[in-house]
C-alpha cells in the first residue's frame, strides 16, 4: 500500500508487510494438511521417471494408468511435465478443468475408473509456452495434490519430465511414499542418463520398483524379422548391475505412436498385440511388488 503523505502512513496500522510471515506460515500449514488429507485417500503412488527425454515415459504412464483402470482399479494420472505436457493429448482430453463447489479442481474423467490432471488442461491455448521458474513449478505440483479432488484411489500415477531437477524433486518431497518406475531405451546413450536417475532415487531415498525397457525391438512389417532399432538388452543389464528389478521389455510398435496421436492408449484397445502382451507383464510385475 502506498500512502499519500507521512501523516497518513503514521496513522496506518504499520507496515503492510507486517504479519506476512505469519500468514505465509499459516497458508503453508494449511496446504500441508490438505496434501496429507488427499494422499491419505490414495493407496499406491507410482512415480514414472527417466533421466532422458524421448524414451516414451509419458506413453508408459498413460498405458499404465489405462491398464490399471481397465482392470477395475480406481486410478488417477497426474501430469507434472510443465513445459512439455503430453498426457492430455494421449488420452484425448481437450477441455479445461472444472472447479467444484468447495473450490477444488475436478480431474477429467476418461472412464469410470480413470481421472486425469495435466497443466495443459489449465491453458486456454494448448500451444502457449509455459515460462516458469522453479518456485512456480513447485507450487503447481503441490496444488495438483492439495487442490485437486482426487477422491478415493487405488493408484495415482505421476508422470514427470525427464531429468533430476525441480519437478522430480518436488514430487519426492511432496509424496514421500511414492514408488519409482524408471523408463529407458536399450542404447548406451539413454542408459547413461538412466544411471543418473538411479543415483537420484538413491540420493533422495525414493524406493524404486524397477526398470522398464521401452522400444526394445521392432518386427519388420514386410518380412516379420526382428530389428533392434535401439540395440537390445541394455535395460535388463543395467537393472541387474544396479540391483534393481527388471519389470519388462516393450517392443517398438508404430501403433503406439498412432494411439498417442488419436488419444486412445493401446491398453484401452481390445486388440492383442506383442506390445499389449509385453505391457501386461510389466503391469503384473509392478503390482506384485506393491
Q: List the grid coordinates of 270.
A: 481390445
60 phi and psi, to 5 degrees?
-65, -45
pLDDT in the model for residue 9: 44
Task: Tell me the torsion sign for CA atoms 231, 63, 82, 37.
Answer: negative
Instruction: Read off the pLDDT of residues 118-172 as tens digits, 9 standing for 90 and up.
Output: 987 777 777 778 888 888 899 999 999 999 999 999 999 999 889 888 999 999 9
pLDDT in the model for residue 4: 45
pLDDT in the model for residue 153: 98
What does the alpha-carbon distance between residue 46 and residue 209 come to, in Å, rounded to a whole number?
9
Please name which of 45, 81, 51, 80 lies closest in space to residue 65, comparing C-alpha atoms: 45
178, 171 in Cβ contact below 8 A? yes
β-sheet bridge partners, residue 210: 181
Please name which of 210, 198, 174 lies closest in space to residue 42, comparing C-alpha atoms: 174
* Sheet (strand 42-49) strand order: 108-109, 114-118, 75-79, 153-159, 42-49, 179-184, 208-213, 246-249
- Provide the 3-class DSSP secondary structure of residue 52: coil
pLDDT in the model for residue 173: 95
Give how far Cα 206 sits from Cα of 133, 144, 210, Å: 24, 20, 11
Q: How many residues does the chain have?
A: 290
What does the alpha-carbon distance between residue 102 and residue 54 come to, in Å, rounded to a whole number?
39
pTM score, whole prediction = 0.88
What does the alpha-carbon distance between residue 63 and residue 90 come to, in Å, rounded to a whole number?
9
pLDDT in the model for residue 33: 94
What does the alpha-carbon distance between residue 251 and residue 61 come to, in Å, rounded to a whole number?
16
pLDDT in the model for residue 1: 41
Q: Which residue has the cell 490399471?
A: 68
Give how far Cα 180 sits from Cα of 135, 221, 250, 258, Å: 23, 34, 18, 27
Q: What secondary structure does DSSP assign to 165-179, as a single string?
A: SHHHHHHHHH-TT-E
Could you say which residues of the chain have pLDDT below 70? Answer: 1-21
β-sheet bridge partners, residue 208: 180
Amino acid at each position: 500500500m502506498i500512502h499519500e503523505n507521512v501523516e497518513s502512513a503514521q496513522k496506518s496500522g504499520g507496515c503492510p508487510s507486517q504479519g506476512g510471515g505469519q500468514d505465509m506460515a499459516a497458508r503453508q500449514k494449511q496446504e500441508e494438511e490438505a496434501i496429507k488429507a488427499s494422499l491419505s485417500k490414495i493407496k499406491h503412488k507410482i512415480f514414472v521417471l527417466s533421466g532422458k527425454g524421448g524414451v516414451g515415459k509419458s506413453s508408459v504412464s498413460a498405458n499404465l494408468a489405462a491398464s490399471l483402470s481397465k482392470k477395475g482399479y480406481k486410478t488417477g494420472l497426474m501430469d507434472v511435465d510443465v513445459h512439455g505436457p503430453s498426457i492430455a493429448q494421449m488420452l484425448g482430453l481437450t477441455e479445461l478443468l472444472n472447479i467444484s463447489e468447495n473450490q477444488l479442481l475436478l480431474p477429467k474423467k476418461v472412464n469410470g475408473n480413470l481421472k486425469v490432471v495435466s497443466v495443459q488442461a489449465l491453458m486456454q491455448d494448448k500451444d502457449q509456452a509455459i515460462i516458469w521458474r522453479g518456485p512456480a513449478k513447485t507450487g503447481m505440483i503441490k496444488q495438483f495434490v492439495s487442490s485437486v479432488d482426487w477422491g478415493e484411489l487405488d493408484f495415482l500415477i505421476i508422470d514427470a519430465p525427464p531429468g533430476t531437477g525441480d519437478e522430480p524433486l518436488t514430487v519426492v518431497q511432496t509424496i514421500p511414499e511414492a514408488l519409482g518406475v524408471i523408463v529407458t531405451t536399450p542404447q548406451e546413450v539413454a542408459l547413461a542418463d538412466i544411471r543418473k536417475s538411479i543415483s537420484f532415487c538413491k540420493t533422495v531415498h525414493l524406493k524404486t520398483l524397477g526398470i522398464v525397457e521401452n522400444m526394445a525391438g521392432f518386427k519388420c512389417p514386410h518380412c516379420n524379422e526382428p530389428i533392434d532399432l535401439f540395440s537390445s538388452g541394455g535395460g535388463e543389464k543395467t537393472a541387474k548391475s544396479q540391483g534393481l528389478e527388471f519389470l519388462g521389455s516393450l517392443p517398438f510398435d508404430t501403433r503406439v505412436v498412432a494411439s498417442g496421436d488419436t488419444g486412445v492408449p493401446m491398453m484401452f484397445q481390445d486388440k492383442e498385440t506383442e506390445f499389449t502382451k509385453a505391457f501386461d507383464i510389466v503391469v503384473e510385475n509392478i503390482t506384485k511388488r506393491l
